[in-house]
Each structure stands twice: as C-alpha cells, then as structure tokens.
Chain A
C-alpha cells in the first residue's frame, strides 16, 4: 500500500442560512486548502461530494467546478455522497498510481429546503418515500430502540449534547456552541420523541476541502503529514427493518478493515448527527472511555450535509499535525440511521 497523507484542510463557517451561492461559499475554502498545502495547481486528480437535492438546483456540482479551476481541463470526479467518500476515491486513485496529489472538496447548502423532508427522497420510492418519513423521525425510531435495549435515559443523551456544545466553544466554525444545563435541555419539547432539538444536529450550510499527497511529496510540503494507515467503507441494506438499528455493523466491519484496533487511539472524530448515534458508533469501533471524542464538537454542533464527514477527517488530521495525537480515527456516515459508514485511521510519522 502506498503512503498517502492529508497535508491540508480548510472549512467554511457553518452558517444556518448562507446567502452566497455554492461557488462563493466553496472558493475561499478551496483557496485556503490549496495555499496551505504548498502544492501548486493543477492537482493530478480532483474529486468532490455534494447532492443537488439539498439546494434544489440541478448539476450544482458542475457549477461548483468554478471553485476548483477546471481550465485547462482537469481530471475530475464527483460522488453523490459526503466528501469523505470523494476522499476515498482520490485515495484509490493515488493507490492505483494514477495520481500523486489530489484535491478533495465537498459542499452542502441545505438551508433553501426542508432538510428532513428532502432526505425522505432517498428512501424506497414505492413503499417508503410516499409515506414521507422524515430523517428525524427515522432517527427517533433508532433512538427509542437503543434506549430500550441499553436501559440508558434521555438524560444520558443530553449529557452527550452538553459535552459536544461545550467542546464546540473552541471551534469558530460551529453552528451551535456554549454551556447548557441538562435540566433546561430536558425541559424543551420533543421534535420526535425521544429526540429533542439538542439531540439533533443543527441544519446548516458548509464547505470543506482537503489536499492529499503521496509519500515524499507529502513529506516535502508537510512537517508532520497525517498518514492514512487504513480506510474502509461499508453499507447496510436499504430497508430499515432489515437492520438491528441499535448497533452499527457496517461501522464495526469498516473499523476492523481500517485497523482501528491495531493500536492506541488518541482521538476520534465520529460523525454522529444524533446524540444516541455516538455511543452506537463508539461500541461498533471499540473506542474506549479514555479516547477523546469530537474535540471539535462534532456533527451535533455543525453538520453541513455532504461535508460533515470529510470535516471529521480534516479535524482528525489537524490533531495529528499539531502533535496532540499520534493516532486518530475519523468516521463519516450517510443515509438514514447510520446506513453507510466510512472509517479512516490517521497516524503521525
């Protein structure tokens, strides 16, 4: 396996409602990531993640190319997935020897639409989507099943939200942050019982870009590259009833394949858009109580669609660069109730 590292990362402030168009949000982010990488354009490969359903505009990813600079024409690809999967494609491209450097970016502008409704369109079009189960209600089914199985309480979930929002105070890009009292959060109404607002990621707009480089190219531009030591992604059946929603088998297998358990984990960035999903992911990945989880505040404090997964990888890489971690795990999810999961293990030199 070739050595491939993340050498640069930038993200937009995650605002609830962006009035800029997708290129206006994305371009400064791409420029920052490119400048920080120390690698001159053009990159050998460019890959992006986004979904037109969010902003209600067709072919938004083609317009977003203005931010990447497609002149002279570049080698480019796009996934209708979180940018973490675009990073996976770029990593494969470098593994295949077809590229030494890659620019990976993602953007998501959810604010124009009603996100929980928009996400219902990813369900089975004949027997499920016509019933319009929104994404929060589906997550609530999972939360109820998990609470019943584990004997945990809504208070336990609120504790996760309070910790995440406190940690997010140090994250200038977070949508929600601050000190909150559990009792006050629990006094708020349900959105879909047992989930209240603090259990659900805020809807926001965002953009992210990272630069990958292979071997000596990475060492030449980065003092302490964040090496990708393992990366894997798995998907579960489309029908929610096929799955045990209280566990995440796809995360477990992806974590095993990526080698999460091969060494001590210092920090983990878990993409859990709902409070109850964090303990499900911890268990699936074997992340112990000693591991720092989501020092950025995680997706509970900023969850721009299609970008929050790649942001987890960028945040984990940042912990490697600054020396606060030697080994970090980053996780990305997509689909209802943790349907698809990607796990990436990063290490310092």
Chain B
C-alpha cells in the first residue's frame, strides 16, 4: 500500500475548554457547611424526605427543597463494594471499601469509603462515623471527610434500610 492510500489513524488536535463552574445554591450551602465541619441536608416540603448532599430539589415530587436540616456525622452502611482496581484519582490504599452511608436523619445515602476496619467485617447495617480532616484543613469539599470508621453501636436491622438500599 502506498503512503497516500494508508488511512490517517492519528492526528493531534489540541483542545482546551475552561469552565467556571458553579455548584448551585443548595450544593453551595452544603459545601459551606462541610467547610465548618457540618453536614447540611434539605427536607422535601411534600414527602418530608431529607436529601444529602442536597441539590435543591426532590426528584420524586419535583418540588424545590428549602428547609435545611443539620445531620449527624454518624450513619449506617446500606451497601458496600470492595475495590481492588487502582485509580489515579483516589489516594486510598487498595483494597478498600466504598460504601453508601445513610446518615442519621437522612433519607438518601451518601457515597464514601470505610477505613479502620478489616474488609471482611464490613456489612450492611453496620454503624459508622465520619473521620474529618484536621479543623485547619476543612474546606468546601467532600474531601474534608477523609472516610467513615466503625463505631461501637448495634447494627441496624436490614428491613429498616430497605427503602434506601
């Protein structure tokens, strides 16, 4: 095949687009709370569910959520996965457990990781608490919560978690 007949399979097309992102009103309130070591959710005026992190809306009722609710940093694992695949974006040593944590008072579990616990001990219903970065390092980012660790409280029965699993 002559050079001209060969398909061009590689060209370099530098592309750069910059965005000035805004988290939105509700998520900004949440992130400002995180910077102060507080977890702020929002309650739906219609179905009364509490969402965290809040996005300013109830996806079930399609109404705006405005009432703010400060939540505990303790919660219950509703489901988990043992991660053994490396990712450049995560600095937690492998293997680790990614979890859904239903914070006390919330109706939507939030995503995090669990540490300070042998992986085989992690289970649905297990009680955990947030481990925060030192106070001077708190910022408007979920990285202010380093991970969740087990606490010495009895498990929550599975049927109490059914709606949020």
Asked whether any CB of chain A lies closer than 8 Å to the CB of B69, the reply is no
Asked whether any CB of chain A lies closer than 8 Å to the CB of B55, the reply is yes
Nearest neighbor of B14 in chain A, beta-carbon distance = A130
CB 8 Å contact bits of B43-60 with A (1 = contact, 0 = none) = 000000000000111111
Asked whether any CB of chain A lies closer than 8 Å to the CB of B117, the reply is no
Asked whether any CB of chain A lies closer than 8 Å to the CB of B83, the reply is no
Complexed CA–CA distance, A62 and B14 (Å): 29
Complexed CA–CA distance, A28 and B61 (Å): 13
Taking A21-B23, A21-B24, A126-B11 as contacts, is the C-beta distance between A69 and B60 under 8 angstroms? yes
Q: Are A21 and B25 in contact (CB under 8 A)?
A: yes
Residues of chain B within 8 A (CB-CB) of A71 are 59-61
Residues of chain B within 8 A (CB-CB) of A66 are 55, 57-59, 62
Complexed CA–CA distance, A24 and B56 (Å): 6
Residues of chain A within 8 A (CB-CB) of B61 are 69, 71
Nearest neighbor of A109 in chain B, beta-carbon distance = B22
When the two chains form the complex, which single residue of B17, B21, B55, B63 contacts A118, counting CB atoms closer than 8 Å?
B17
Asked whether any CB of chain B lies closer than 8 Å to the CB of A193, the reply is no
Asked whether any CB of chain A lies closer than 8 Å to the CB of B13, the reply is yes
Nearest neighbor of B57 in chain A, beta-carbon distance = A66
Nearest chain A CB to B53's CB is how many angstroms away? 12
CB 8 Å contact bits of A100-130 with B (1 = contact, 0 = none) = 0000000000011110011001000110011
Asked whether any CB of chain B lies closer than 8 Å to the CB of A155, the reply is no
Asked whether any CB of chain A lies closer than 8 Å to the CB of B18, the reply is yes
Asked whether any CB of chain A lies closer than 8 Å to the CB of B84, the reply is no
Nearest chain B CB to A324's CB is how many angstroms away? 32
Nearest chain A CB to B49's CB is how many angstroms away? 11
Nearest neighbor of A19 in chain B, beta-carbon distance = B22
Residues of chain A within 8 A (CB-CB) of B25 are 19-21, 24
Residues of chain A within 8 A (CB-CB) of B24 are 19-24
Q: Are B57 and A56 in contact (CB under 8 A)?
A: no
Nearest chain B CB to A207's CB is how many angstroms away? 13
Q: Are A112 and B62 in contact (CB under 8 A)?
A: no
Complexed CA–CA distance, A21 and B19 (Å): 14
When the two chains form the complex, which single residue of A23, A112, A126, A130 contacts B22, counting CB atoms closer than 8 Å?
A112
Residues of chain A within 8 A (CB-CB) of B55 are 21, 23-24, 63, 66
Nearest neighbor of A69 in chain B, beta-carbon distance = B62
Asked whether any CB of chain B lies closer than 8 Å to the CB of A55, the reply is yes
Taking A125-B13, A126-B11 as contacts, is the C-beta distance between A24 and B19 under 8 angstroms? no
When the two chains form the complex, which single residue of A28, A30, A55, A129 contacts B13, counting CB atoms closer than 8 Å?
A129
Residues of chain B within 8 A (CB-CB) of A55 are 19, 21
Complexed CA–CA distance, A23 and B64 (Å): 9
Complexed CA–CA distance, A63 and B23 (Å): 13
In the complex, which residues 4-40 of chain B have their Cβ closer than 8 Å to any Cβ of chain A? 11, 13-15, 17-28
Q: Are B17 and A56 in contact (CB under 8 A)?
A: yes
Complexed CA–CA distance, A66 and B62 (Å): 6
In the complex, which residues 1-54 of chain A have their Cβ closer than 8 Å to any Cβ of chain B? 18-24, 27-28, 30-31, 41
Q: Are A112 and B19 in contact (CB under 8 A)?
A: yes
In the complex, which residues 120-179 of chain A have their Cβ closer than 8 Å to any Cβ of chain B? 121, 125-126, 129-130
Complexed CA–CA distance, A21 and B62 (Å): 15
Taking A20-B24, A21-B24, A21-B27 as contacts, is the C-beta distance between A56 and B59 under 8 angstroms? no
Complexed CA–CA distance, A41 and B60 (Å): 12
Complexed CA–CA distance, A47 and B16 (Å): 31
Q: Are A67 and B18 in contact (CB under 8 A)?
A: no
Nearest neighbor of B22 in chain A, beta-carbon distance = A19
Nearest neighbor of A55 in chain B, beta-carbon distance = B19
Closest 9 CB pairs of A and B: A21-B24, A69-B62, A56-B19, A71-B60, A112-B19, A66-B59, A66-B57, A130-B13, A24-B56
Instruction: Please give the residue numbers on chain A whose beta carbons come within 8 Å of chain B beta carbons, in ascending order.
Output: 18-24, 27-28, 30-31, 41, 55-57, 63, 65-71, 111-114, 117-118, 121, 125-126, 129-130
Name 9 extra pairs, CB < 8 A, besides A66-B62, A129-B15. Answer: A19-B25, A23-B57, A24-B55, A27-B57, A56-B17, A66-B55, A66-B58, A111-B20, A112-B22
Q: Can you pick out 9 interface pairs between chain A and chain B where the beta carbons lie within 8 Å of each other?
A: A21-B55, A23-B24, A27-B57, A27-B62, A30-B62, A41-B62, A56-B17, A113-B20, A117-B17
Instruction: Please give the residue numbers on chain B whose beta carbons come within 8 Å of chain A beta carbons, in ascending order.
Output: 11, 13-15, 17-28, 55-64
